[in-house]
Structure 1
Amino acid sequence: MPIRRIATRIVLAVTLLPATGPALAQTGLAAHFYFYRPTAGQQQAFEQGYRRHLEWHRQHRDPLVWYGWTIEDGPRAGQFVDASVGEPFAAFDRRVDVAGDAADAARNVLPYVTPLARPTYVLRPDLGAGTPLEHRRPTATMQVAVFHLRPGTEARFERAVQAARRVLAKRPGAPAHTWYRLVVGGEAPQYLLLVAREGWAGYDRYDGDLAGLLAKDDTALADYAAAVRSVDIETWRYRPELSLIPPGEQRDRAPPRRAAG
């Protein structure tokens, strides 16, 4: 969990298109991510301490969801990620007992990890197809892609993503693709893509990437090539025992339109 308060406000007008699936159960578009490196030899102590910290949030009736993942491959392999998504940005101005949260994290979590980064993104439902996390339906794994763009190419990149979204809509059984744009906390311009997976078997049914979706659209492919400087791709494994979904949230929310794969 974060140990300092984030006070970020953003006004964004978004049209929810039919291909995004059911309307969000909440209107919040904020996505706060926190990355940690567990100290060598302290993984078990970290996980025990993190469970105690989640219990603090539970006892204080924290209304925010907190997901936890372990990164399994790529340069950040071994890092732990937690995130709170699906709320308005203003929700982080109203967090429960910020000082108590920080003190509990200092006791139970920080002795066993090194905090690395805390990027904040805004959900872009107009670019994606499905929002499993916002609907409190995390999958066993996620295929995570971080797109680093050349400055000033955001419009071209988004045109390419929207073209890919139209192709994706014609592929039954494709997994949910959820897009976010970086707001603060990292190198910009940057976009984050989360592809819902239930394990490696999902790649037998769908293994496409953004460039592959654009293979038959020369204009969109040119936009993609001009905009993208580099892409980092990872696998994140969901840790339900290191996550906190407030009571009632999971059963009260409709499943996403595209969660298979």
Structure 2
Amino acid sequence: MKALILLAFMLPVIGYAQSRSLAQFVTWQPKPGLEKQFEEGYKRHLDWHAKAGDTWNWYGWFFVSGPRAGQFMDATIDHAWGDFDNPVDPAGDHADNEQNTVPYANFIGAAKLNAVTSLSRPGQYGLRSKYMKMITLQVLNEYSATWRIRNLRNRVEDKKGINFFVTYKTIDGGRMDHWYILIGADNWADFEACADAGDKLLDSGVFKSITSETLLYRHDLSRFPAEKQ
């Protein structure tokens, strides 16, 4: 009996310790006329990660709609919190960034987001889809927000062409009341399933603001060490 009681107390701790829900998103603004140089420089920086033995996955996208159109965003996802205590060679990473990306783009910001697994349906290939819709929510009421997001997920997650539906909450590097819904599809036609997402979410008592942007996935600006590149 004592062993069972001890196990009951340990299970939440074990689950917490093994959680791999943390992600880091970084945004860059390529300098005017230097967009191609930025892409080539970023590829060299990914090569540095490979040579340094980095085992993390890296995704790359360009915003193609909204006020951030033209900006580049990269992300590394599915991490335990402790992973960020041991990134590969931080000094070398910084030095290579200074050489290969900083000359061609302005650093906008970095944020750590935590996936809300109960409001998500990850894709078979992570966040890889040709297009990714990013819905940014400024949340006023977390309980009601959870209910509304769950209803939206239940309505669209199994629609043909929807590859993933992932909800994140800001942990660091931004407004703590900002949540993000990421929806992946390979064709614009597939996004019709969530065309009325704003109508389903909009409520002045739950969300202060809702914005939608679309990003284009760039496999050539991404890296997955466990797979053949």
With structure 1 as the length reference, what TM-score do the two structures score?
0.75
**Residue aligned with 2:194, SS:** coil
Task: Please give the root-mean-square deviation of Cα atoms over the aligned residues, in Å.
Answer: 2.5
Q: Is residue 143 from structure 1 mapped to residue 133 from structure 2 by the alignment?
A: yes
Match for residue 226 of structure 1? 205
Question: Residue type matched to 2:213 in 1?
Answer: E
- Which structure dedicates a bigger proportion of its chain to helix? 2
- Take 2:131 and 2:198, find their aligned partners in 1: how far apart are those partners? 22
- Identity in percent: 29
- Take 2:179 and 2:152, find their aligned partners in 1: how far apart are those partners? 15
Pick from 156, 172, 183 the counterpart of residue 171 of structure 2. Answer: 183
Contact 2:198 2:210 in 1 (8 A): no
Q: CA deviation at 1:109?
A: 0.6
Pick from 125, 131, 143 the counterpart of residue 117 of structure 2. Answer: 125
**Residue aligned with 1:126, SS:** helix
- Take 1:249 and 1:123, find their aligned partners in 2: how far apart are those partners? 27
Alignment of 1:13-162 (within 5 A): 27-128=19-120, 130-132=121-123, 135-136=125-126, 138-150=128-140, 153-162=141-150
Match for residue 9 of structure 1? none
- Take 2:116 and 2:78, find their aligned partners in 1: how far apart are those partners? 12
Match for residue 194 of structure 2? 207
Match for residue 7 of structure 2? none
Q: 1:183 to 1:249 in 2, by over 3 A?
A: farther
Question: Residue type matched to 2:207 in 1?
Answer: V
Q: Is residue 240 from structure 1 mapped to residue 219 from structure 2 by the alignment?
A: yes
Match for residue 3 of structure 2? none
Unaligned runs of at least 5 residues, structure 2: 1-11
**Residue aligned with 2:117, SS:** coil
Q: CA deviation at 1:207?
A: 3.4
User: Which entry has the higher C-alpha Rg, 1 or 2?
Assistant: 2
- Take 1:137 and 1:180, find their aligned partners in 2: how far apart are those partners? 13
Unaligned runs of at least 5 residues, structure 1: 1-12, 17-25, 215-220, 251-261
- Take 2:129 and 2:199, find their aligned partners in 1: how far apart are those partners? 24
CA deviation map 1:55-80 (0-9, x unaligned): 00011121111100000010111000
CA deviation map 1:31-88 (0-9, x unaligned): 1000110000101111111110000001112111110000001011100000000111
- Take 1:163 and 1:102, find their aligned partners in 2: how far apart are those partners? 42
- Take 1:173 and 1:40, find their aligned partners in 2: how far apart are those partners? 38
Q: 1:97 to 1:168 in 2, by over 3 A?
A: same
Q: CA deviation at 1:155?
A: 1.7
